[in-house]
Each structure stands twice: as structure tokens, then as C-alpha cells.
Amino acid sequence: MYTTDYLKTFSEMLDLPAESRVPLLQDYTALLAAPGAVEEMAAAEAKLFDGAEWDALIPYMDRLHVCSGLHRHTVDFLFLMAASEQLRAHYRAAGLPDALFWDTIADLKFKLIECHDVYGIWGTFVAFWHPWFYTMRRFKLGRLQYEAIPFKNEAPITLGGYTVEPGDTVYNMHIPSCGPLTRAARLDSYKKAYAFYQKDLGGKPMVYVCHSWLLYPKNREILPATLNMVDFIDDFRIYKWQENDEFYDKWRVFGKDFEKPDAALPEDTTQRRCFKKWLLAGKKTGEGCGIFLYDGKTFTK
């Protein structure tokens, strides 16, 4: 059921960092050899594909950690990597292209690199984030990821004469850490998402939503207007936002240095210099919720 051959295929198809491949192969070999590990993985995988959220899988991951001696972040990654082999078969059974599978499951690569950048461990520290990929509710279409969800705002919002009601189906967007968020890449992704979901729209425009630290309106004050991150805000109507007492996404900006005192944070990029200056001035960061429509021809916000 579980083989190192698939890990090799996974590594090659996703072009995992060269320095990660030998450690991952060694760790996966050790995991498969650990007493009872294969049975625990199979039981956890059955729950994953049955729609369980990550909390239900934690006891299995804990036991895999104990029996193998591997770090939990590594165990989580290796389990999800192994389970993706069955997910690939599910894509084929659903008539979805192999290229879409690899584009979507590449999220594991992005999280692998983030985990190493932040903690020096080849693994994932956000395993709770992954289950929706395995039930084919979240897809990467171009630069961005999407999932259909009910609109969670407490009040309707009208854009260009079209009203989005609470509970209506909207398409929630996520921004993986996989390169520049250029205008061209965003537009390409928005259009690919519309083409992918068009059959489900019933002739209505597609409603795109996003809840992210990137959409905090005061990012326009923190960062230069020339940055892609600021331009991204202008794609949306920001309908809700808040300041936070803590910078929850600090690790996304400062990587392994995020826990250092603000005065010791690195300044090697424009983004880092600007956020460090903002934090040292005692100012808060936050998050925002944005929305826009696309009908195949026109964007409306």
C-alpha cells in the first residue's frame, strides 16, 4: 500500500527542494518500518477520505510519532504525502486531469518549505489545513486556491445590482506561498476558476471572497503602492476588517525570525522593512474580508 517509490514520484513531480529528498526518504523508510505504523496510516487515511477534520486524525498521528520517533511535523507531512496517492486515483475516477491533481497537491510542497523556513524541519506545521484537499473541496487553479462555501456575512451585499445573500454559494480564495502575486497571475487564476466552476453557477456571476491578513486596508499605509500585495487589495470591495492585538501572520513575513523582538527583526526585503517600521511604531496589524463578481466578461466590486 505504501512505498518509497511513490515518495520519489511525488518529489520529482513537485520538484521538492533537493536538500529535502534524502531526509524525507530516510524518515519515510523509518516510518514504514515502525511497528504498527502501516496499520495506523491506513486507519487514519480511511477517516481522512471519509471527510474527517484533522482533530479526528490527531490520535493516529500521535501514535505514529511515538512508534517512529519522528518529529510530529514530519509525521504529518509523510502521512499526507502517502495519502495523496489515493487522492490521485480519486481525481482520475472523477475525470479530473492529472495536472490539476499535481497543481493542487503542490500545497504540501509549499507547506514543507514554510515549515523548514520557520522551524528547520522538513514537514508541515499546519496539518489541520489539509483535509479539504483530500475530499476534493479545494483546488488550485492557476496562482490561487478556491473552495465553494456558503456566504458567511450576517447581511447581504449588493455589487453592481447583484445581491449576495447570507448562505449563498460563494468561492473562497486562498493565497499559497508559491511566487509573486502579480496582476497577470491573479487575472489568469480568476478566469481559470470561472471556467472550472461555471457549470455550477446556473448562469449567475461567480462570487469570489477572501478573508486574509493581506486584505487589511491599512496595509496600504504599511507598504508601498507598487507592491503586488497592495494591488491585490484593489481587486476587492473590502466589506469587513479588524485590527488584532497580535500579528498572527508574523511568521509569513519574517520566517524563522518571527519570534524575535521587533527591534531584532530582519530588514532584507521591502516588506520586512515596512512591517518592522510599523511594529516598532507601536501600530497594529489586522485582517480583512473582500468580495467581487466575475461573469466571464466583467469584474464588479
pLDDT per position in the chain (301 positions), as tens?
Answer: 899 999 999 999 999 999 999 999 999 999 999 999 999 999 999 999 999 999 999 999 999 999 999 999 999 999 999 999 999 999 999 999 999 999 999 999 999 999 999 999 999 999 999 999 999 999 999 999 999 999 999 999 999 999 999 999 999 999 999 999 999 999 999 999 999 999 999 999 999 999 999 999 999 999 999 999 999 999 999 999 999 999 999 999 999 999 999 999 999 999 999 999 999 999 999 999 999 999 999 999 9
Helix (H) or strand (E) holding 163: strand 162-164
Residue 61: per-residue pLDDT:
98
Look at strands 169-174 and 206-212 and give their pairing: parallel
Answer whether 76's CB lies under 8 Å from 123's CB.
yes
DSSP 3-state assignment of 199?
helix
Taking the model in full, what pTM does it have? 0.95
Determine the Cα–Cα distance for residues 30 and 147; give it in Å rounded to an integer. 35
H helix runs in 166-236, sequence order: 183-197, 219-222, 228-233
DSSP 3-state assignment of 77?
helix
Residue 46: per-residue pLDDT:
98
> If we measure between CA atoms, which residue out of 286, 289, 288, 287 comes closest to residue 245?
286
Q: In sequence order, what DSSP letters do the residues of 5-63 get, joined into one string?
A: HHHHHHHHHTT--HHHHHHHHHHHHHHHHSTTHHHHHHHHHHHHHTT--GGGGHHHHHH
Would you identify the CATH topology of the domain 139-245+284-300?
Aminopeptidase (3.40.630)
Domain ranges in the chain with CATH number 3.40.630.120? 139-245+284-300
Residue 1: per-residue pLDDT:
81
